[in-house]
Amino acid sequence: MEAAGRLRLDTLPRLQAAGEAEVQLRASDDGSGRAIVQGRVKAQLTLTCQRCLGPVARALTTEFKLVWVRSDAQAAALPPEPYEPLLSASGRVQVSELLEDELLLALPIAAVHATAEECSGLGQRPALRHVETPANPFAVLGAGRRDR
Ligand SMILES: [Zn+2]
């Protein structure tokens, strides 16, 4: 199954960024019965400067390849490469949380303006938004979904 779409970053509460990401996801079988989730996220983020609390624009692209495991024991038994475990006892994965984790991993440790001119202190912290969890995990991606 493949899905592609756009994700509003202000729907990810832990990320604390505004902006939008282009997301491609693909779920497949690796041939040995393992479920693989691969993805690519290209994001234009507006982060909060840690010095002046103003908006800082950043672009980043991250790719990941995860293998679904039901338990820590199963994760420990994986071959070391190229598998990164995605732990879910139920087999259900919250796609928005998965993408949020990957973006958090790819982010700079602390966002600050590059120059004193940009770092004005005039910015305001973007408001966080709460969004209901969709019943269909891929629905978070909006338009563009297709099944294979
Ligand atoms: Zn700043």
Q: Which residues surround ligand 1, an ion (CB under 5 A)?
A: 49, 51-52, 54, 113, 119
Give the pLDDT confidence of 96-127 residue by residue, as tens digits: 888 999 999 998 778 889 888 888 755 444 54
Give the pLDDT confidence of 54-100 residue by residue, as tens digits: 888 889 999 999 998 989 998 888 877 777 888 888 878 788 888 99
DSSP state of 142: -
Rounded to the nearest integer, the mean pLDDT of the chain is 82
Centre of ligand 1 to C-alpha 103, Å, is: 21
Centre of ligand 1 to C-alpha 45, Å, is: 15
The model's pTM is 0.69
Structure tokens at 143: 């338009």
Query: What 3-state DSSP class applies to 98?
Result: helix
Query: What 3-state DSSP class applies to 100?
Result: helix
Closest alpha carbon to 34 in 72, 102, 84, 99:
84
